[in-house]
Structure 1
Amino acid sequence: MTQLSVIGLNQESAKSLADKLNQLLANYQVFYMNVRGFHWNVRGEKFFELHVKFEETYNDLLLKIDEVAERILTLGQRPRHAYSAYLDSSQIAEVKDVHDGRECVQQVLDSYQVVIALQREILQLAGDANDEGTASLMSDYIKEQEKTAWMLNAYLG
C-alpha cells in the first residue's frame, strides 16, 4: 500500500519533489548573494537604475527563498540551510568582484535561465505527482521570470 504524506501525496513523490526544491533553494540562495553583491558594487553611468533594479531583484529572490523552503517543509521534508551545501549543489556559480553594469545584468539573466529550467523540471514532477501546490508555485515563478528574462535581454540589446 502507498503511504501518503500529511497533504495526501505519495511520500516517495513528495521526497523527490523536495529534493529538487532543495536544489532550487540552493540556486536561489547563490543567485540572491550574487545580486546583493551587484547591488553593492555596480558602477558606471547606469548606476542609479541598476542599483534600484538589483535591490528589487534580491528582495524578490528573498521572498522566493522563503516560499521554496516552506514548500519543502509542507512536503514533509527539511530545507537545506548551510551555505556550503548551497555552493555544492547550485548550478549558479558564486560571482566575485563584478562591478560592470552590463556584466552584472548578464549574470542575472544567466541565473534566471538556470532557475527557469529547473522550475520547469519541478513543474513536470509536480504534475506527475498530482501536487497542485508545487505546480502552481513553479508556474507562477516561470511566468514572472520569463518576462523578466525578456526585459533583461532587451536591456542588453
Structure 2
Amino acid sequence: MKIDNGISEKDRKAIANGLNHLLADTYTLYLMTHNFHWNVKGPMFNTLHLMFETQYNELALAVDLIAERIRALGYPAPGTYSEFAQLSSIKEVKGQPKAEEMIKHLVHGQEAVTKTARSLFPTVDKASDEPTADLLTQRMQLHEKNAWMLRSLLEK
C-alpha cells in the first residue's frame, strides 16, 4: 500500500538510507560496548563494567527505534553483520585492548554516531520529517553525554 504521510518517496528513501548508516553505527557501537563490558579488567573494572552495561542496554533499545523508523518510512532495515560492516563508519576493534584504550574506542564510537545523526539533518529538515528529527536529536544528546562521561575517565 502506498505511503502518504506528506514526505515524498524520494525524500523518504534518502532519509531511510541515512538511517541505515545510523543503525549500522549504533549496532556496531553496541557490539563494541558489549564486548568491552565482558572483557574489561583492571583497577576501574567495576566502574567500567557497570557503565558499559548501561550503555549497551541503551544502544540495544536504540537500534530497535531506528529500525522501526526506517520501516515506518517504507523501507527494509538492514540486519546482518555484513550489511552493518558495509554501512558503519565505526571500525571493528581487534583483540582485547586495555581499559583505557577501550574508553578511547568508545569515545570515538559515540562521536561517530553523533556525526552520522547530525549529517542527516539537512535531508530531514528539507522533508519536514519531525519524527526523524526528534529521534536524531535524542540520539545526539545521549551520545554526546556518553562521550563526555567516557572522556572524563581519561583525565589525569
Give yes or no for TM over 0.5.
yes
Confirm whether residue 85 of structure 1 aligns to residue 78 of structure 2.
Answer: no
User: How much has 1:8 moved relative to structure 2?
Assistant: 2.1
Counterpart mapping for 1:96-111 below 5 A: 96-111=94-109
Q: Aligned partners of 1:156, 1:100: CA distance in 2, in Å?
A: 13
User: How much has 1:90 moved relative to structure 2?
Assistant: 1.0
Q: Which runs of 5+ in 1 are unaligned?
A: none
Letter paired with 2:17: D
User: How much has 1:57 moved relative to structure 2?
Assistant: 0.7
Letter paired with 2:99: G
Counterpart mapping for 1:20-35 below 5 A: 20-35=18-33
Q: Aligned partners of 1:52, 1:69: CA distance in 2, in Å?
A: 26
Match of 2:121 in 1: 123
Letter paired with 1:20: G
Q: Aligned partners of 1:149, 1:109: CA distance in 2, in Å?
A: 5
User: How much has 1:52 moved relative to structure 2?
Assistant: 0.6
Say whether the 8 Å CA contact 1:43–1:99 is kept in structure 2. Answer: no
Select 1:140's aligned residue among 110, 113, 138: 138
Report the aligned-residue RMSD.
1.3
Match of 1:16 in 2: 14
Letter paired with 2:10: E
SS in 2 for 1:140: helix
SS in 2 for 1:149: helix
SS in 2 for 1:84: helix
The sequence identity of aligned pairs, in percent, is 35
Letter paired with 1:130: S
Letter paired with 2:150: L
Say whether the 8 Å CA contact 1:6–1:76 is kept in structure 2. Answer: no
With 121-130 and 51-60 compared, the bigger mean Cα shift is at: 121-130
SS in 2 for 1:77: coil
Cα deviation code 1:48-86 (max 9, x no counterpart): 110111111100111110000000001011101111111
Match of 1:114 in 2: 112
Letter paired with 1:67: L
TM-score, length-scaled by structure 2 = 0.94
Q: Which runs of 5+ in 2 are unaligned?
A: none
Match of 2:59 in 1: 61
User: How much has 1:89 moved relative to structure 2?
Assistant: 1.7
SS in 1 for 2:121: helix
TM-score, length-scaled by structure 1 = 0.93
